[in-house]
Amino acid sequence: GAGVSQTPSNKVTEKGKYVELRCDPISGHTALYWYRQSLGQGPEFLIYFQGTGAADDSGLPNDRFFAVRPEGSVSTLKIQRTERGDSAVYLCASSPQGYSYEQYFGPGTRLTVT
């Protein structure tokens, strides 16, 4: 079956611009996670959704970052006033339930802020 998909695969934007990154989880998965991965490092947790609600947003670095999941399926990560330090690969993962042990990752969106 189809895995987690993310669009775009690459995004180049200028400092100060607004960007949206999209994640399509595996059908039927209620839990959805966003992580950020810088070069040579492990993924860093940003936010977790259970259904439509953000169950844990403690990883969002500041108020420029926001994520939504209005219908409990597709999620969008939104970054305002982008900074060069936001450049990273943004990974999305989903799992059948929040307590399920396996998270299935998408291929990521590589964001470059110039």
Partner 1 sequence: GQNIDQPTEMTATEGAIVQINCTYQTSGFNGLFWYQQHAGEAPTFLSYNVLDGLEEKGRFSSFLSRSKGYSYLLLKELQMKDSASYLCAVKDNAGNMLTFGGGTRLMVKP
Question: Which residues contribute to the site for partner 1 (CB under 8 A)?
Answer: 4, 31, 33, 35, 40-45, 48, 50, 55-56, 58-59, 91, 98-99, 101-108
Which CB, 74 or 98, lies closer to partner 1? 98
Least distance to partner 1 from the beta carbon of 16, Å? 28
Instruction: Tell me the C-alpha distance between 108 and 98, whole Å.
Output: 20
Q: By C-beta, is 14 or 99 nearer to partner 1?
A: 99
Nearer to partner 1, 19 or 91 (CB): 91
Angle at 100 (CA atoms; ends 65, 73), nearest 5 degrees: 50
State the minimum distance, in angstroms, from the CB of residue 80 to partner 1.
23
| Residue of 66, 63, 72 lying closest to 26 (CA atoms) | 72
To partner 1, the closest distance from the beta carbon of 2 in angstroms equals 14
In DSSP terms, which residues pair with 66 in a beta bridge?
78
Q: How far apart are CA 93 and CA 3, in angstroms?
A: 10
